[in-house]
């Protein structure tokens, strides 16, 4: 499983969806080697289809196919889900982001999240909350 840690830091995730992804064989092998970068990746609805843009999948080391590592890849969602997401995305301030890539029954799946951007003070509050939870766990371990 490959996780987009930056997404949960920068965005508040409102809903999540699981989608299949259309890939080439060498891309699947690169994903198995965890050679994926989520930097600046997002999901776009275009022509009644969902597309994953800017996801960098490094070329497979011994692959013979030469292709663009940041090409748009089609996401496999139900038509009703795509229509619903298209309606929701028309609202201001919402975006779709890939949260993680994983294998399910030897198929590559992408968990995408409907997200709203966090403000700077929200990020500081999240860091503060994490620190206090870590301190509490540390104290509980020490007491035992």
pLDDT band at 64 (very low <50, low <70, confident <90, very high): low
SS (H, E, C) 14-64: EEEEEEEECCCHHHHHHHHCCCEECCCCEEEEECCEEEEECCEECCCCCCC
The whole-angstrom separation of Cα 85 and Cα 1 is 25
Tell me which CATH homologous superfamily contains domain 2-118: Small protein B (2.40.280.10)
Where are the domains positioned within the chain?
A: 2-118
Mean pLDDT of 12-35: 92
Between residues 65 and 91, the one the model is more confident about: 91
pTM exceeds 0.95 for this model: no
* Rounded distance between C-alpha atoms, residue 12 and residue 4, angstroms: 13
Report the C-alpha dihedral over residues 110, 22, 29, 71, rounded to 10 degrees: -90
pLDDT tens profile 98-117: 999 999 999 999 999 999 98
């Amino acid at each position: 499983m490959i996780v987009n840690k930056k997404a949960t830091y920068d965005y508040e995730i409102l809903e999540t969806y699981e989608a299949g992804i259309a890939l080439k064989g060498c891309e699947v092998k690169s994903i198995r080697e965890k050679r994926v970068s989520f930097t600046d990746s997002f999901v776009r609805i275009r022509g009644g289809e969902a597309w994953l843009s800017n996801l960098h999948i490094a070329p497979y080391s011994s692959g013979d196919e030469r292709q663009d590592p940041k090409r748009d890849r089609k996401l496999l969602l139900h038509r009703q889900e795509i229509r619903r997401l298209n309606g929701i995305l028309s609202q201001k301030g919402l975006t779709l982001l890939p949260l993680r890539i994983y294998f399910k029954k030897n198929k590559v799946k992408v968990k995408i999240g409907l997200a709203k951007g966090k403000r700077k003070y929200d990020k500081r509050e999240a860091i503060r909350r994490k620190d206090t939870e870590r301190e509490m766990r540390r104290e509980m371990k020490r007491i035992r």
